C-alpha cells in the first residue's frame, strides 16, 4: 500500500464501527484487506489462516495470515 494509489484505485472515506477510515477500491481485486494496526485499534476479532501472499497495486507483495470475518464497512 503506497501513499499514492495508482489511477485504477479509488480512494474514498468509509466507516468501520463508527471510526472514519480510508478505503482503497480496485475493481480488479479478488480479496479485501485491512491493515493489522487498524484491526487491532478497532478491536476486530481475527483468526489465523494459512499464509496468503498477494501483490498490491504498487507491485509490492504482502503476506496475510489472519482473517476478520463479518466486518461491516460503510461507504
- Residue 4 falls within a domain, yes or no? no
As a whole number of Å, the end-to-end CA separation of the chain is: 20
Structural domain that includes position 21: 9-67
- Residue 73 falls within a domain, yes or no? no
The pTM of this model reads: 0.74
- Residue 18 falls within a domain, yes or no? yes
- Residue 45 falls within a domain, yes or no? yes
pLDDT tens series, the chain, 75 aa: 455 545 578 899 999 999 999 998 887 777 888 999 999 999 999 999 999 998 877 788 999 999 999 999 999
- Residue 34 falls within a domain, yes or no? yes
- Residue 30 falls within a domain, yes or no? yes
d(CA 68, CA 62): 17
- Residue 61 falls within a domain, yes or no? yes
- Residue 59 falls within a domain, yes or no? yes
Q: Could you give the number of structural domains in the chain?
A: 1
Amino acid at each position: 500500500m503506497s501513499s499514492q494509489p495508482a489511477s485504477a484505485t479509488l480512494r474514498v472515506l468509509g466507516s468501520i464501527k463508527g471510526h472514519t477510515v480510508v478505503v482503497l477500491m480496485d475493481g480488479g481485486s479478488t480479496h479485501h484487506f485491512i491493515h493489522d494496526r487498524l484491526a487491532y485499534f478497532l478491536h476486530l476479532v481475527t483468526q489465523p489462516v494459512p499464509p496468503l501472499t498477494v501483490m498490491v497495486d504498487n507491485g509490492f507483495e504482502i503476506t496475510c495470515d489472519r482473517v476478520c470475518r463479518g466486518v461491516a464497512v460503510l461507504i
